Copies of this chain bind each other. A is one copy, B any other.
Amino acid sequence: MTLILGNEDVDDLLTMDDVIKALEPAYRNIAEGRAVAGGRADLVSETPYDPDARYWLKMASGIVPDLEVGTVRINSDIVTWPKDGNKLRRVKAPLAPGKRWVGLVLLFSSATGEPLAIFPDGAIQRLRVAGSTGLSIKHMAREDCHVLGLLGTGWQAGAHLEAACAVRPITRVNVFSPTQGHAEKFAEDMSARRGIEVVAAITPEDAVKGADIVVTATNSMNNIFFADWVEPGMHLATIRDGEFETAVLKRVDLLAIHDPGNMGDDHIHAPPGLTIPDLGKEITEVEGFDEILKSPTLAQVVAGQAPARKNADQVTCFLNYHGLGFQFTATGAAFYAKAVEAGRGHELPTEWFTEDVLP
């Protein structure tokens, strides 16, 4: 049987602890050269939906042999770039029937090749991104981190709060949103949920001032965190190229990235004449970008193959964007095991997704 699972199954079954426990050995496997990451590709074209929008077909894959699974993640999006004041925002339009988005993970057995499960990528995506930040905190931040400065109040921000709490004794979170009401609601909800002090800050600088850990988890296409705000001993993490002013990186003593091969735009395939408003050029044009590419990967950090923090004053930083397919492999395997155990999902005949001819 091939299981069709949903985001609600992820929400019900998979905890942040599960995710961090699943990701940590997979990262180690990557560093040891046992697991495989790769295959990130974005295909971009025009779309009949709107001449200024783009159809964006994105793939990433991974194999974690110890878990006996491989995955392919596919996103099939209509991307638009509405102006928000004088800022440009990237918005995926929910145009599938019922005003829905399309992101799928296909989980295969590396023992038999068979498709074990198909599920949406949304709930897992949130957990794996935040889980990776959690691993960076676990392996790079000071042990005695208590205060989290959080820019952003969306879905990713909430998961990041949980990830930080999973690996450090966080007692206070200062959160900022350009929409003050969002920050207040987030603070109220999270205080209640986690039983810690979560406070809405008036300015982004207030949110990060004095923080041990700073996380930016927004969909902003403009700088929201600046070099002047960096304090000794901070651990920094960002989920989007451009959230950090590039000068921030000059204040960082230990930097970790996902994968140097994944940082540029090489994986984007588009017709030559097609414009793409937000191709992430900024960081690649920075003086010192080549140095950034030489930074250790989070996998190397987790495996102890990278220099460790030397003292309480060093600034550490994880660039948590252009993530890797194997994160879905590890997290997906943990989710699948729990789903099978709980008897979740629609069971379809595996024969529907296999064949008796050899292509």
Alpha-carbon distance A357/B357, docked complex (angstroms): 37
Cβ proximity bits A61-73 to B, threshold 8 Å, 1 near / 0 not: 1110100101010
Q: Whose C-beta in chain B lies nearest to the C-beta of A107? A: B76
CA distance A25 to B45 in the complex (A): 16
For A310-350 the 0/1 string (1 means CB < 8 A from B) is: 00000000000000000000000000000000000010101
Residues of B within 8 A of A62 (CB): 43
Of A203-211, A247-255, A266-274, the one contacting chain B is A266-274
The verdict on A122 contacting chain B, using a C-beta distance below 8 Å, is yes
Which chain B residue shows the least CB distance to A49?
B111
Task: Flag if A102 contacts B108 (CB, 8 Å).
Answer: yes
| Contacting residues, chain B, for A61 (C-beta < 8 A) | 41, 43, 57, 59
User: Would A98 and B55 be within 8 Å (CB), given that A48-B111, A70-B45, A269-B38 are in contact?
Assistant: no
What number of A residues sit within 8 Å (CB to CB) of B?
A: 81
Q: Does A85 contact B (CB under 8 A)?
A: no
A112 and B78 form a contact (CB under 8 A): yes
In order of increasing CB-CB distance, the 9 nearest A-B pairs are A39-B41, A38-B269, A125-B359, A96-B114, A100-B354, A120-B355, A55-B110, A122-B357, A76-B108
A contact residues vs B (CB 8 Å cutoff):
4, 6-7, 33-49, 55, 57, 59, 61-63, 65, 68, 70, 72, 74-78, 92, 94-104, 106, 108-115, 118, 120-123, 125-126, 155, 269-273, 346, 348, 350-359
